[in-house]
Chains A and B, each alone.
Chain A
């Protein structure tokens, strides 16, 4: 279902001239006055917020995750009595990264989420079960978007690491749509598959995932074994919803009337497709908008019209640029752990993180120089309290291990900071 054909199926040049340019102009004027960070960046780049918005966008510098932290204070103070909600992540510098939101943000973001969810062809008779392990706040927001589309039955289903026990009531809910994060789906998949094999008369038709990439092989396996269609919701903490897959399953539609993608050093793939690291400009964010913000995804953008009838560009995420990883949909950054390990030791040093998948949990192995062995318990304790990791450890979703190696391990050759051996299939 195309909720908003006026935008989703619009001529892209017309959209640029009549909507995007106005949106960017309005954004630039607003942020120049309200944010010291943007004021500084505009002045440094010689950008007048009233100049042609496409020229301004071209001239403005890219925004990093570190820069993002500089928005927080101004955003918080500007929000003032309109502050409604805050999204936080573990942050790349060891302290939570915060996105403050007003009620206007909530409503604007709901409108976009509705557009995306309509693309999943939901019906009012669907029973949607959100399956996750902790804070349901994002699902509450998803549930509101579904409610606005007329879906009556949405249930948040909190589970724990004992999947056999945790999932035993899922079948009685008999969802038509299961909405979750890929790593949790992978962890619980054997249990889910067994339950669906034992109960043939069930209604599951779709799985919607978000928060991290779903391995293509695993996706195909789920589609075949459970006989479901799979859809992806795409977005980030700092940008909120950016897009979603349609029933043609040929990329994620992103909506440029709301969020503008900029490709860094794009590589031409064909007449309509380019590939590169993407930076996003969010035009409808009220309290904490971003301009050319690098979320760390390398994408392929296809601007050809989709078989579904939409003209909005489609992206495929082909890789990640930053030194981070995701655990059950929660983002963690290398620097968080590096700063944690060395925070009390009055020195900096090396760290390698290896991620692996065990039978029922992910394992995080920290490789450290052997000179730190005497501090093992202190380091483990600090790691335990990394924001949001504590919950996964307590619940048995993640296990920590520390290994000490000779210093030559770090200096003898170039080694990757993070090695991810996890395979979900």
Chain B
């Protein structure tokens, strides 16, 4: 892990102005402890930067990942190279694999105008991995109307990406997915995707109740002072995040697992 962290820190310092501002001089990492002494990267560091200062190469920008709710307190959208986008697809595949749902299971995604672009990216990923997927745009529909549309499509899985609070436990859909609904679920087959706009999807809560993340792609810490989740992306070359202090609190568990205790404003 040290070699990977060292490589990402060296790359970031050499290629991305925000890290040169933050570190002042090139960090020498000889141990994980050295890495953990690096300053946290915070949203406030980005606020004072222009867009070309937060990425490694303007010409490599291939994707602008939409924020989860069409708004974000982070000052920039998520920017990706084609490599970063491919890595995000791989992370998505990892998350879906953790659920144990059958290949080719059908999905219906419920979205509203706030979440539609982010949900659209999820649809894109599901179709890429050959899960037949439709997306219903929810407006002033009643819960009964929503249920009626969903029942017409009879999906194996329902992903809920809307603000409206709906009681779906009696809908007889085998698997339910949500985004950033960290509260303990009474529904056994309820999976929650943990995502933040500036990084994308990170982890998934399975029926065991904790979030699993792919440790090939993220190095996860918490700040001992306040339990805030601190993330380092290991597979981004355009806009890597190193010791990025999120708005969310978590407890680290053994292995590649954590328990979210609070989700802040994103």
Interface set of A (CB-CB < 8 Å, partner B): 72-73, 76-77, 79-81, 83-86, 88, 96, 98, 100, 133-137, 139-140, 143-144, 147, 152-160, 165-166, 169, 172-173, 387, 391, 394-395
Contact = CB atoms under 8 A, between A and B. Distances in A.
Interface stretch (B119-127, B209-217, B244-252, B258-266): B119-127
A147 B113 contact: yes
Interface of B: 50-52, 58-59, 61-64, 66, 75-77, 82, 113, 116-117, 120-121, 123-124, 126-128, 130, 132-137, 139-141, 149, 152-154
A84 B117 CA distance: 11
A84 B77 contact: yes
Interface of A is mostly: mixed
9 contacts: A76-B52, A83-B51, A86-B64, A133-B127, A140-B137, A155-B135, A155-B137, A156-B135, A169-B153
Given A137-B120, A144-B116, A77 B135 contact: no
Contacts of B127: 133-134, 158, 160
Contacts of B51: 76-77, 79-81, 83
A172 B136 CA distance: 14
Contacts of B113: 144, 147
Nearest to A151: B139
B124 A134 contact: yes
A76 B152 CA distance: 43
Contacts of B140: 152
A33 B125 CA distance: 40
Contacts of A166: 132
Contacts of A76: 51-52, 58, 61
Contacts of A137: 117, 120-121, 124
A157 B134 contact: yes
Contact of A147 (B61, B123, B139): B139
B120 A136 contact: yes
Contacts of B133: 158
Contacts of B154: 169
A153 B141 CA distance: 9
B147 to A, nearest CB: 14
B58 A77 contact: yes
